[in-house]
Structure 1
Amino acid sequence: MKEQDFSALTLLGSQDVKYNFDYAPEVLETVDNNHQNRDFFVKFNCPEFTTLCPITGQPDFATVYISYIPDLKIVESKSLKLYLFSFRNHGDFHEDSMNIIMNDLIDAMDPRYIEVWGKFTPRGGISIDPYCNYGKPETKYEQMAEHRMMNHDMYPEKIDNR
């Protein structure tokens, strides 16, 4: 295994972390994927996601599930935590927030495949659970994304965050 240079990471191990209360995609940091020769899923379960309704300003709460197959880079988890925290005062609809998260992660690490699923707690008697995904164009991952999109909710799991 080759030695990696982690000097570009500014958040991991730092005791002087600043929490951005406004949307901050620039905090996302990546490191090299040491296992580029194989496919594997990286899954994050983020049960404390909050954002604001862009109309009423009321808080919305969700568990966000992020799953991806990395290519050359993986996202550093502390930077992901701080990035998700930056949505705290950000106003976007649920569907927009999940697509923004996915787009920012694609920009940061260019994964082979990624999906983001937000399971929002009900407000006004309705819960909204947006799902989005992406596979690299003209690869088997693009076909995988199409298949998973068509079948992602055929067997909904038990939701225990509401």
Structure 2
Amino acid sequence: MTDKYASRRYDVEDTARIDTGVLEHIPFDYPESATDIQYETDEFTSVCPWTGLPDFGRLVITYRPRRRLVELKSLKYYLTSFRNVGILQEHAVNRVLQDLVALLEPESMLVEAWFNERGGLRTHARAQHPAT
């Protein structure tokens, strides 16, 4: 029996398509406070870089700002830009962390994702700044 799926592949975009240019920040008026901020979405999607099959997950971003907050509409557009990008689940959380730390320069940040089950396995990945 031949594997009719062996050569099947969906279009996958390169990580260069992740739109960091859309990200904007706004001033945080209380830098002396110990304020923790958390954003959550159940709509995070990317695709497997090898098969092009979609990965769906819940993404949570938690951070303690210094002087900047991420503007939420820009965050939504940024996260949506992952939609057809071929990126490993474990790399996706690190890429989000890297891009947001560069934008916001926070005191600390944690990016976590719980990806839907594929092949009987669920993935929970987390990346943090500063690294411990």
Which blocks of at least 5 consecutive residues in structure 1 are unaligned? 1-21, 136-144, 147-162
Match of 2:71 in 1: 76
Query: Residue 128 of structure 1 aligns to a residue in which SS?
Result: strand
Distance 2:106 2:114 in 1: 23
Match of 1:120 in 2: 115
Distance 2:86 2:42 in 1: 19
> By how many angstroms is 1:117 displaced?
0.3
Distance 1:57 1:100 in 2: 19
Which amino acid is the alignment partner of residue 38 of structure 1? S
> By how many angstroms is 1:26 displaced?
1.1
Please tell me whether residue 92 in structure 1 is matched to residue 87 in structure 2. yes
Match of 2:52 in 1: 57
> By how many angstroms is 1:39 displaced?
1.4
> By how many angstroms is 1:72 displaced?
1.1
Over aligned residue pairs, what C-alpha RMSD do you find?
0.9
> By how many angstroms is 1:37 displaced?
1.2
Query: Residue 111 of structure 1 aligns to a residue in which SS?
Result: coil
Which amino acid is the alignment partner of residue 95 of structure 2? I
Match of 2:31 in 1: 36
Q: 1 or 2 for the larger relative contact order (CA 8 Å, sep ≥6)?
A: 2
Equivalent position to 2:18, from 19, 23, 45: 23
- What TM-score results when the alignment is normalised by the length of structure 2? 0.85
Distance 2:34 2:101 in 1: 17
> By how many angstroms is 1:127 displaced?
0.9
Runs of 4+ in 1 over 6 A off after TM superposition: none
Match of 1:141 in 2: none
Q: How many residues are paired up?
A: 116
Please tell me whether residue 102 in structure 1 is matched to residue 130 in structure 2. no
Identical counterparts, % of pairs: 34
Distance 1:78 1:39 in 2: 24
- What TM-score results when the alignment is normalised by the length of structure 1? 0.70
Distance 2:110 2:46 in 1: 19
